[in-house]
Structure 1
Amino acid sequence: MLTARLELRRPVLADAAAVLRIHQDRLACEHNPGDMIATRTQAVERCQGWIEHWERYGFGYWVLRRRGSEHVIGFCGVKVVRLHDEPVLNLFYRLEPAAWGSGLAGEAVAAVLGVARSEPYPVIARVRPANVASARVAAGAGLRRAEHLDTPGEDGPDWIWSL
């Protein structure tokens, strides 16, 4: 899938190096330290989980690169999770800090939501209260705060944004 500045593609096991690089970056995982990984084995397992989700559902997390570049700058997509015992699509976006502030996360999210809207599940984003940038991306994509759905998360409160 192409956007004005990005190429989004399905993950492959060779992406484990980029998964490790971005998910061991403390700044990239500042608001979700539980997502941090430290070993190549963990990166391969995470990547394999993303691949298996694609195989099961036909959608999932995409690998992000700037058009014309082989360098992976992050990941964005949706996966099926349960929220209050109901299946939902959790919107995920994580970019390397060097790509922050340029609107690339919003561009990737818009592309992903264009595909996700055809799925039979509601789309939500779980955002930590202090993660102002993530909330801005969610709001810019048309998601709205849904306080009645907020939950405790692995790394603190999950503020739920819903499409």
Structure 2
Amino acid sequence: MAESPRSLEAPALTTPRLLLRQWRDDDADAFAPITADPEVMRYIHDGSTLDRAGTGARIALWRRHWEQHGFGLYAVELRATGELIGFTGLATPLFLPEIMPAVEIGWRLGRSSWGQGYATEAARAVVDQARSEFGLKRLVSVHIVGNEASARVMVKLGMRLDRETVQPDTGRPLRVYAMDL
């Protein structure tokens, strides 16, 4: 496999309230309560929660994604406190082969951070980076039907409904939104 041209440390992004940064070894402890919350995970894959070990494995996977693709998911911190509140970033949605090749923008925040505009603020920074630094021409975002809060973020970003489909391994109904950059 060819080495990614951006295989070094992921660049950090800042917004007025947030720091989007590379994952650190100790982040699993702070992120595990988010992935263990059934309400947070309700619309993620099959709705299963993760324990501390599963959370650590996911973070390791996301770090490898940066190395392999030159883009990925950022840990999102509140600048005022340094609290890790979730993630936002880019991924390759291999779980949905019908839309490949594609780059997906996604986010997951802890419940205490919902409804404050953090997902939109962070996602806008990532969209700008995807366009200006990564040279991407199109982004998609996928949500399980029923997750209307996530769909509202997609619309705020300027995305439009591209298709309705089902998740191949769970049969859950999905909506795919897309935007040209």
The TM-score with structure 2 as length reference comes to 0.81
Question: In 1, Cα distance between the equivalents of 2:29 and 2:123?
Answer: 23
Query: Would you say the 8 A contact 1:90–1:126 is kept in 2?
Result: yes
Give the alignment of 1:97-108 within 5 angstroms: 97-108=111-122
Q: 1:17 to 1:36 in 2, by over 3 A?
A: farther
- Once the two structures are TM-superposed, the CA of residue 53 in structure 1 deviates from its matched residue by 0.4
Q: 1:81 to 1:129 in 2, by over 3 A?
A: closer
Secondary structure in 2 aligned to 1:162?
A: strand
Query: Would you say the 8 A contact 1:89–1:121 is kept in 2?
Result: no
- Select the residue among 138, 141, 146 that pairs with 2:162: 146
Matched residue type, 1:54: W
- Once the two structures are TM-superposed, the CA of residue 34 in structure 1 deviates from its matched residue by 2.8
1:46 aligns with 2:58: yes
- Once the two structures are TM-superposed, the CA of residue 128 in structure 1 deviates from its matched residue by 1.8
- Structure 1: stretches of 5+ with no match in the other structure: none
Matched residue type, 1:161: Y
Q: State the superposition RMSD in angstroms.
A: 1.8
Give structure 1 regions of 4+ aligned residues with deviation exceeding 6 angstroms: none
- Once the two structures are TM-superposed, the CA of residue 85 in structure 1 deviates from its matched residue by 5.8
1:63 aligns with 2:75: yes
- Select the residue among 127, 143, 151 that pairs with 1:113: 127
Per-residue Cα deviation, 1:82-123 (whole angstroms, up to 9, x for no partner):
441621111111111111111111001101111122344631
The TM-score with structure 1 as length reference comes to 0.90
**Percent sequence identity over matched residues?**
29
Query: Would you say the 8 A contact 1:59–1:78 is kept in 2?
Result: yes
